[in-house]
Amino acid sequence: MWQSFAEYISSLCEKNPTKICEIGVGKFTQVFDYLNKQDNIEIIKTDIAPNDSSVIKDDVTRPDLKLFENLDIIYSIRPPSELQPYIIDLALKTKTKLIIKPLFNEDINTKNVKLTLKNYKKASFYTLGV
């Protein structure tokens, strides 16, 4: 499933380089690691509580917008419901594509923004602006 999710994001990366940020990465870096290996992708990961020095400390409820300048894609895996509107807001503000993979297939807390539920191979997730 994670392979399918990572492949889907990779399939959106037509630009070279395509600039991506994973928000709220926690300790789960499988998708980040896959994307980071692609030649045409430049990727950063953020979390309010970085697990190690490769993670940029950033609070998505008060994001440092400089980090998100010129990004093409933001994605987040299993973000808590209360963070979801902030992630959507950030994607809208920075005009990036957004992909959110919820814990299960539950609805996303969008505050009336319409996300699209997509299925790609073994993965299902929500997108905006894709």
Ligand X SMILES: C[S@@+](CC[C@H](N)C(=O)[O-])C[C@H]1O[C@@H](n2cnc3c(N)ncnc32)[C@H](O)[C@@H]1O
Note if the bond before 102 is cis, omega within 30 degrees. Answer: no
End-to-end CA gap in the chain: 20
What are residue 57's DSSP bridge partners?
47
Binding of ligand X by 64 (CB under 6 A): no
When the beta carbons of 26 and 129 are compared against ligand X, the nearer one is 26
Is 48 a binder of ligand X (CB under 6 A)? yes
The verdict on 61 binding ligand X (CB under 6 A) reads yes
User: Which residue, 2 or 120, has its beta carbon nearer to ligand X?
Assistant: 2
Closest residue by beta carbon to ligand X: 26
65, 93 in Cβ contact below 8 A?
yes
The yes or no reply on residue 26 touching ligand X (CB under 6 A) is yes
Give dist(CA 69, CA 63) in Å, integer: 11
Write out the residues near ligand X by the rule CB under 6 A.
Answer: 24-26, 28, 47-49, 59-61, 77-80, 83
